[in-house]
A and B are shown apart, each in its own frame.
Chain A
Amino acid sequence: AAGVIQSPRHLIKEKRETATLKCYPIPRHDTVYWYQQGPGQDPQFLISFYEKMQSDKGSIPDRFSAQQFSDYHSELNMSSLELGDSALYFCASSLYVRTSGRRAYNEQFFGPGTRLTVL
C-alpha cells in the first residue's frame, strides 16, 4: 500500500539559509499535518491543512510557512534557519471522514521524516 512520502530524507543547511520540505500524502487523503521532533524530544505539532486550507496551528515559528497544493501535497518552508531548527520533521496524512451523530476517526499515517541539520 502507498505510504506518505517525504523529500528529501536528509537535508543539511547553513545558518540563515532557507529550506523546503515536501510531503506527498497517501492517495485520496485530504489532510496533512506537520510535526517537529528535536533531538531526544517528543514530536511537536506544527501545523495542519485540510482541503488546502489551514486547519490548525501549533508551535510553528513565524520564520516557517506551509501550504497545501491542489494535488494535496504540502510544503514546509523554513527561512533564516537557526541551529535549533535541527530536527526530524514528520508529515502525516489522513482522510477526513464525516459521520453524522457519531465521532469520526481519521487515522494519521506518518511519513518516514526529513532529518534537517543546520550547521
Chain B
Amino acid sequence: AQSVTQLDSQVPVFEEAPVELRCNYSSSVSVYLFWYVQYPNQGLQLLLKYLSGSTLVKGINGFEAEFNKSQTSFHLRKPSVHISDTAEYFCAVSGSGGYQKVTFGIGTKLQVIP
C-alpha cells in the first residue's frame, strides 16, 4: 500500500514570492508520484508527474517538483507565485503498472496574498 503525507494544510505566501509545498510518500514498491491542483469548485488538474528518469520534473504554470528517493519526498516548488495560483494542491501516489488507483494526500491550501 502507498500513502502520502502533506506536511502543511495551509501555506500563505505573498505574490511574487517563492513557495514550496511539501510531500512525503511511503511505499514498499516502486511508485508514480503526482501533484494535482484544484481551483475552488472545480475538478482536479494534473500539474506534473514523476514516473522515472530525471528527478526534477517540470509541470504546467511554472511549477516543478523534485523526487528524492532517499528522503521519500516529492516537494512542489514555484519561484514566483501569482494570485491565480491560489488553490488547493494535492500530492498523490500510485503503484506502477496496470490499473492502479491514485491515493491522495489531504491537500495543501495555497493562499497567495497580494
CA distance A33 to B94 in the complex (A): 13
0/1 string, A79-119, CB within 8 A of B gives 1: 00000000000101010100000011111101111000000
Residues on A with C-beta less than 8 A from B101 are 33, 45, 48, 56, 58
CA distance A94 to B34 in the complex (A): 15
A74 at the interface (CB under 8 A from B): no
Chain B interface extent, by class: 20 to 34
B102 at the interface (CB under 8 A from A): yes
Residues on A with C-beta less than 8 A from B96 are 103-105
B103 A45 Cβ-Cβ under 8 A: yes
B104 A42 Cβ-Cβ under 8 A: yes
A50 at the interface (CB under 8 A from B): yes
CB distance from B37 to the nearest CB of A (A): 11
Give B100's nearest chain A residue, CB to CB: A106
B52 A103 Cβ-Cβ under 8 A: yes
Q: How many residues of A are in contact with the other chain, CB < 8 A?
A: 27
B90 A31 Cβ-Cβ under 8 A: no
B51 at the interface (CB under 8 A from A): yes
Which residues 57-114 in B have Cβ within 8 Å of A in the complex?
90, 94, 96-107
Residues on A with C-beta less than 8 A from B54 are none
Residues on B with C-beta less than 8 A from A105 are 32, 51, 96-97
Residues on A with C-beta less than 8 A from B44 are 43, 90, 110
A18 at the interface (CB under 8 A from B): no
Residues on A with C-beta less than 8 A from B97 are 103-105
B98 A104 Cβ-Cβ under 8 A: yes
B99 A94 Cβ-Cβ under 8 A: yes
CA distance A89 to B46 in the complex (A): 17
CB distance from B94 to the nearest CB of A (A): 8
Mind listing 5 A-B residue pairs with CB under 8 Å? Answer: A41-B106, A42-B106, A42-B107, A56-B101, A103-B52
Q: B-side interface residues toward A, CB under 8 Å?
A: 30, 32, 36, 42-46, 49, 51-52, 90, 94, 96-107
